[in-house]
Amino acid sequence: MMNRLNLMLVAGARPNFMKIAPLVRAIEQHNTNRRNGDPQIDYKLVHTGQHYDPRMSTIFFQELGMPAPHINLGVGSGSHAVQTATVMTRFEPMLESARPDWLVVVGDVNSTLACTLVAAKLGVRVAHVEAGLRSFDRSMPEEINRLATDALADLLLTPSEDADRNLAAEGVDGARIRRVGNIMIDSLNAQLQSIDTLELIARRDLVPGEYIYVTLHRPANVDQPDTLQLVMGRLTELARKWTIIFPVHPRTRSRLADCEPVQSVPSGLRVVEPVGYRESLAFVRHARCVLTDSGGLQEESTFFRTPCLTLRPNTERPVTLTCGSNRLTTPEDLEHDLADVLARPARFGEIPPLWDGHTAGRTLQAILEASGFGSKHVTEDRLLQHSSRPEEAQLLSPSAV
């Protein structure tokens, strides 16, 4: 076996960047610290170009200290079919000529699925980071992306126990699953070492605990004018008492243009351009409450124990509800739920297991082991968890491996 491993990493849209950055860092650390026998890991970073505005992409590369992508497919926006097909068409020759040992994809965006499909058909092994999450709501494009990506990926790197259970319920062989933890928290932890979040909010004239941080971009919330109008009405009311900071995603911005203008917008409602990763973390950390439909913000709120209301009927991240500070709401219940949250303690909830900043290292280790490098690190707990039959667990007990 060659003592080298070739990886191709894919990032396409805003929520991918903070999941890829820790992997790049872990690869570089591995190469620096490697001892005799450890393989050199070579990687190529592909940006599909699904997100391309400087505020949706470049700023994240800068703040996360990521190298410029080796390849940018420059795909841009389009319908789901157009975007997915364009990524596939442009990615196929790149993958064909690079022929890495593994394609590593993260999250659940169209780029994740498109590159996975190409790799599966070219016979390149796929590792999916953040596998197994399910909202059980197929009206969400991300749910389709998750189901199809997990069906095809060879190595399913999961963040939580619920994800493992979802995969087991779909009949996935436990040998394909490795629970590695929440990789977003690696980026969050790394940033907290170097930024002054109080200073970042002060620059926006925000006072800790005295503002509400809002982000909305899901088609279900912003593509229906009635729903968006209703939510904007609620925010306008709320802004008579609270400062609301609302960085607006480009999709939402274009839909807002179609809404009836709100009469006399209170000065408390501050609709601003999309913000970078650092400012967003600072906003979450010091907010009185977060109101969002983003997956990432549900997790970041849980990490900071900041109350979070998620404007969705479901979440693929149930640990933020059971363990963390998150709660689901609807446009109709928003007023009541907000009042309820604001009457509760300013911080609550627990940080879930494996949100410890070491997920990228475990991810790399899992990929190395699946490639035949390093020791087989199989714990009794993992074996039991993936085997419903005790005799199977017995057969695979660590002493037998």
Task: Give the C-alpha separation, 315 to 302, whole Å.
Answer: 13
Place of tokens 């699953």: 177
Task: Give the C-alpha separation, 158 to 352, whole Å.
Answer: 14
Out of 47, 128, 217, 386, pick the active-site residue.
217
* Closer residue to ligand UD1, CB minimum distance, 5 or 87: 87
Task: Give the C-alpha separation, 38 to 47, whole Å.
Answer: 28
* Closer residue to ligand UD1, CB minimum distance, 273 or 350: 273
* Closer residue to ligand UD1, CB minimum distance, 213 or 242: 213
Q: Nearest approach, Cβ of 9 to ligand UD1 (angstroms)?
A: 17
Distance separating the N- and C-terminal Cα atoms of the chain = 21
* Closer residue to ligand UD1, CB minimum distance, 221 or 302: 221
51 among known catalytic residues: no
Q: Nearest approach, Cβ of 13 to ligand UD1 (angstroms)?
A: 4
Q: Nearest approach, Cβ of 302 to ligand UD1 (angstroms)?
A: 17
Listing DSSP states for 29-98 in one string gives HHHHH--TTPPEEEEEEEE--SS-STTTTHHHHHHTTPPPPSEE-------HHHHHHHHHHHHHHHHHHH
Q: How many CA atoms lie within 13 A of 268 on its CB side?
A: 18
Residue 101 DSSP one-character state: S
169: tokens are 């319920």
Q: Nearest approach, Cβ of 3 to ligand UD1 (angstroms)?
A: 37
* Closer residue to ligand UD1, CB minimum distance, 14 or 47: 14
Query: Count of CB atoms within 10 A of residue 196's CB?
Result: 11
Q: Nearest approach, Cβ of 113 to ligand UD1 (angstroms)?
A: 8
Q: Nearest approach, Cβ of 52 to ligand UD1 (angstroms)?
A: 4
Q: In what order do the strands lie in the sheet with 326-328?
A: 269-272, 243-247, 211-215, 289-292, 308-310, 326-328
Q: Applying CB under 6 A, which residues contact ligand UD1?
A: 13-15, 50-53, 56, 77, 83, 108-110, 141-142, 217, 249-251, 254
61: tokens are 């590369």
How remote is the C-alpha of 57 from its chain's centroid?
14
* Closer residue to ligand UD1, CB minimum distance, 16 or 371: 16
94: tokens are 């790149």
Task: Give the C-alpha separation, 48 to 364, whole Å.
Answer: 22
Tell me the catalytic residues.
217
